[in-house]
Amino acid sequence: MATKRWDLLLTHATLATLDGDAPFGLVEDGALACADGRIAWYGPMRALPSRASAARIEDLQGRLLTPGLVDCHTHLVFAGNRANEFDMRLNGATYEQIARAGGGIRSSVAAVREASEDELLRQSLPRARSLLRDGATTLEIKSGYGLDFDNERKMLRVARRIGEVLGLTVRTTYLAAHALPPEYRDDADGYVEALIDWLPALHAEGLVDAVDAFCESIGFSPEQTRRVFEAARALGVPVKLHADQLSDLGGAALAAEFDGLSADHVEYTGEDGVRAMAARGTVAVLLPGAFHVLRETKLPPIALLREHGVPMAVATDCNPGTSPLLSLRQAMQLACTHFRLTPEEALRGATVNAAKALGLVDRGALREGLRADLAVWDVAHPAELCYWLGGDLASRLFVGGRPLP
């Protein structure tokens, strides 16, 4: 047999492949090899080809090896913070009351507009590094705190720069339909026309991987959202949607109608919406951080999502107002605690299903041919990723087969 020569060989690992029929796709005392940035082989140590070799070999000594985590919903590019609103909520103010009083998203808009691009990068990088340190090797980052052409562009440019600085995949989402800026306070339709006009130029610059909107009574109506989605479709850009977080406006079904990658939040989504998502392959992105911080009581329709086979992803929703969450693993734990996901559902939600929610088919599992984005954990079993509250469990990360410092 010819000698196999790989770039990287990880040995004596517990592999959570998320592939196959076994729980977690678990392979005890396994090995995994990478070549040219992709997974070239995996299996039990006893099946390792006898003449295999690699430029770099690491003995993981029983540590858990999983795909790198994928955080498929974040707003981590922002300036300042909104800790005062946390205090207001604890003193009885609701999300809607804060928003209608000029707080919420609008206060972040003011801070982003005042910050230079370099300053915005300086403030945002530590948040991205926190997500990276806890196992996330792919991030989605939304705009939506600029709400004019120059500042939306600035946010998207910063998101791209974060990926370049950290060596991660960053998928950018255009979310100008997040709130009404002060200059359009009484002209929602006029603002929708403006943000639609900005989209082609931003897309032409390579700054837009997807388009999103906040379809809600304090955001944008289904009709306005439809106009945004039609503009995205005309450019061949996939859509996502903040759907049914505070009420059921049919957002999940609307996202599915446009073959949306995902409908996110979905606490109030009814069975019709779930059926529509199932029919179109739209992922339900669960955001337990916002549920937790807002002390919500309306649970997403988990049983219906399971019944109809809708993939469930889990994300941090990292943002300054309603989910200041800097750990995707902690989001997994919250999804288990609040939404009763199993640890396996939560891990799949932060890997293979999260990748699907970004339209990425090259990652999210340990399988030959997939991108070698890998996380090594100082635990013995994947359920521990959802069991421990806090702690530094990620000991090693690889992106495209390359170790991150």
**Binding site feature residues:** 73, 75, 82, 145, 178, 242, 245, 317, 319, 321-322
CA-CA-CA-CA dihedral for 291, 296, 301, 302, to nearest 10: 50
Closest of 282, 247, 253, 237 to residue 267, by C-alpha? 247
**Binding site feature residues for Zn(2+):** 73, 75, 242, 317
**Binding site feature residues for Fe(3+):** 73, 75, 242, 317
Spatial separation of the C-alpha atoms in residues 72 and 349, rounded to whole Å: 10
Are 9 and 15 in contact by the 8 Å Cβ rule? The answer is no
Closest of 219, 205, 201, 216 to residue 250, by C-alpha? 216
**Binding site feature residues for 4-imidazolone-5-propanoate:** 82, 145, 178, 245, 322
Contacts of 195 (CB under 8 A, 6+ apart): 152, 176, 177, 228
Closest of 24, 68, 48 to residue 380, by C-alpha? 24
Helices (H), 91-177: 95-100, 105-114, 117-133, 149-166
Amino acid identity, position 114? E
Are 300 and 251 in contact by the 8 Å Cβ rule? The answer is no
User: Up-side HSE of residue 62: CA atoms within 13 Å toward CB?
Assistant: 3
**Binding site feature residues for N-formimidoyl-L-glutamate:** 145, 319, 321
| End-to-end Cα separation, the chain, in angstroms | 36
Closest of 185, 80, 189, 202 to residue 151, by C-alpha? 202
Spatial separation of the C-alpha atoms in residues 18 and 113, rounded to whole Å: 42
